[in-house]
Amino acid sequence: MLSLVLWLLQLVLALLFAGVGFIKITQSQTRLQQTLRWPEDYSAGTVKLIGVLEVLGAVGLVVPQATGLLPVLTPVAATALAVLMALAVLVHVRRGERSRIPLGVILLVLSLVVALGRFGVFG
């Protein structure tokens, strides 16, 4: 049962992170500033890097575990995404964007659940 829950979380998180990462990679800085607002505080290169990290994290959530090739990379990817989300929450707190904080916290917690579950903490 735990494995099924972890797989569902991994797939949902992978789809979300891949989607938002792809947007950050493909959209112009101007467009991202209009829709997300926070990119105005960062260079275009930094925003693209965050997008690439999100896409790589999404791949890492699924591929290693699914293929059995270095499955330890799955909880490592989940941990990295949790750190990324912790930093995102801090950015939103600093900018006073209260409405954006809950989603970041939820993604942080779900990423931690996957990391801990795949590291074997839950049994």
In whole angstroms, how far apart are CA 14 and each of 10, 20, 105, 113?
A: 6, 10, 16, 14
pLDDT the model gives residue 122: 81
C-alpha–C-alpha distance, residues 109 and 114, integer Å: 9
Q: What is the DSSP string of 58-75?
A: HHHHHHHHHH-SSTTHHH
Q: What is the pLDDT of residues 53-99, one digit of tens each?
A: 999 999 999 999 999 999 999 999 999 999 999 999 999 999 999 99
Q: Which two tokens stand for residue 13?
A: 């998180």
Q: What is the pLDDT of residues 19-62, one digit of tens each?
A: 999 999 999 999 999 999 999 999 999 999 999 999 999 999 99
Confidence of residue 1 (pLDDT cuts 50, 70, 90): confident
